[in-house]
Amino acid sequence: MTFASRYDFVLLFDVKDGNPNGDPDAGNMPRLDAETGHGLVTDVSLKRKVRNYVGLVNECTPPHDIYIKEKGVLERTHRAAYEAIGATGELADEAGKDDKKKAKRKGSEDSVRKAREWICKNFFDVRTFGAVMSTGVNCGQVRGPVQMTFARSIEPIVASEHSITRMAVASEKEAEAQDGDNRTMGRKHTVPYGLYRSHGFVSAFLAKQTGFGADDLELFFKALEGMFEHDRSAARGQMATRGLYVFKHDSELGNAHSHSLFDRLAVVPNDSETPARDFGDYEVTFDGAPVNIWDEVKAAPGVTLIRRC
């Protein structure tokens, strides 16, 4: 089932005594805007959690299989697509030796189109976020209807570093080097508290091209609401979705600029002198008034604001 509305949304989530998105190039410290000190969480990290949620609740079965999954090999999926559409003769292993490189990289225009459509039909994340699928066996590329921004903390965060102790070593060699004292030291990074905000966009035009339907949209929103409930780890502390504010437009093209709608949704601390340590330390308003869960507010002519959680 298709839909004929543009959607813009604001996602609020928080972290307490955890690291929401470590930077491997900085010793896994929480990501920061170096100029302002605000915390950052990449769109890739958020999409990973959506993929994990959808894969978990649907057991990675078509039409909700996941293209980018842990330990996945993308070319295997590309080959499976060619086999499913009956184009095995164009696979590299089936081509002549002289044509092997050419067959592996290109494929016929018709086969690429059919393979792309097959992957969109079977893989939720491709028809949602899009993908470049030209690695190895060529299945083309897809521009996804759903896009998300980096999440940025409402206020500057403090990145704390802690020493931790493990009362064991990994090998006999380490035990000998420790001379009987098998304790090893490590480091752990946390944010005492941070409330993060991300913006997202859903295009009805691109949804038609990938087959992203109304059921997929509802599943995506449910994933944003519940993705942290199934992504627990000691490193991430307490994380939770605190608000999902959806602007639904009456038309595919949209009835207002997204930035003008986002600007009217304000998140401000209740007490500017005391560091925030809980979501209750903030107030979320639209045009100065609170938005309750399940409320529908007329945000602009042809635009309805819905708070889902």
pTM over 0.75: yes
What's residue 178's pLDDT?
74
What's residue 2's pLDDT?
83
What's residue 103's pLDDT?
45
Contact 19, 190 (CB under 8 A): yes
Contact 195, 157 (CB under 8 A): no
Contact 199, 259 (CB under 8 A): no
Residue 99 has pLDDT above 70, yes or no: no
Residue 295 has pLDDT above 90, yes or no: no
Residue 96 has pLDDT above 60, yes or no: no
What's residue 92's pLDDT?
57
What's residue 169's pLDDT?
80
What's residue 273's pLDDT?
85
Cα 91 to Cα 3: distance, rounded to the nearest angstrom: 36
Confidence bin at 105 (pLDDT 50/70/90): low
Rg of the chain over Cα atoms, rounded to whole angstroms, equals 23
* pLDDT 10s digits, 174-230: 777 777 777 777 889 999 999 999 999 999 999 999 999 999 999 999 999 999 999
Residue 100 has pLDDT above 80, yes or no: no
Dihedral over alpha carbons 60, 64, 69, 73 (to 10 degrees)? 90
* pLDDT 10s digits, 7-22: 999 999 999 999 999 9
Residue 94 has pLDDT above 70, yes or no: no
Q: What is the mean pLDDT of residues 80-104?
A: 70
Chain-wide mean pLDDT for the chain?
92
Residue 109 has pLDDT above 60, yes or no: yes
What's residue 93's pLDDT?
56
Q: What is the mean pLDDT of residues 159-172?
A: 85
What's residue 182's pLDDT?
77
User: Hey, how many other C-beta atoms are within 10 angstroms of the C-beta on 88?
Assistant: 12
Cα 158 to Cα 24: distance, rounded to the nearest angstrom: 18
The one-letter amino acid code at 166 reads: R
